[in-house]
Amino acid sequence: MLREMKMKNIEIYTRPGCGYCVHTKKLLTGEELNFVEHDIFVNPEKLTDMQKRTSNRTFPQIFIDDKSIGGFDELLALSKQEKLSRGAA
């Protein structure tokens, strides 16, 4: 599935008041991974972008190298499989 995460492009779509969004950012920060956050409250046009990229409508929505991996649960599963840490093979 996902291999080397060190230089990958990670994007997350978030919304205010979303606990899973907060956990996602903490997990990525804890793994020392850089990410771009698209807050749909601050930039409402990003909601349209997200809807064009995935049929999922929950938050957060996470993309790694333009591939939708889903939300926090899927990201947590990758972390538990040690597929997120920098330099992971």
* pLDDT tens per residue across span 69-82: 999 999 999 999 98
Question: Is 43 a member of any domain?
Answer: yes
pTM of the predicted structure, to 2 decimals: 0.86
Q: Which domain holds residue 36?
A: 10-80
Question: Is 1 a member of any domain?
Answer: no
Question: Is 74 a member of any domain?
Answer: yes
Question: Is 86 a member of any domain?
Answer: no
Question: Is 44 a member of any domain?
Answer: yes
**59: CATH:** 3.40.30.10
3-state secondary structure the chain: CCCCCCCCCEEEEECCCCHHHHHHHHHHHHCCCCCEEEECCCCCHHHHHHHHHCCCCCCCEEEECCEEEECHHHHHHHHHCCCCCCCCC
Question: Is 56 a member of any domain?
Answer: yes
Indicate whether 67 pLDDT > 90.
yes
pLDDT in tens, 13-60: 999 999 999 999 999 999 999 999 999 999 999 999 999 999 999 999
Question: Is 48 a member of any domain?
Answer: yes
User: What domain count does the chain have?
Assistant: 1
Question: Is 2 a member of any domain?
Answer: no
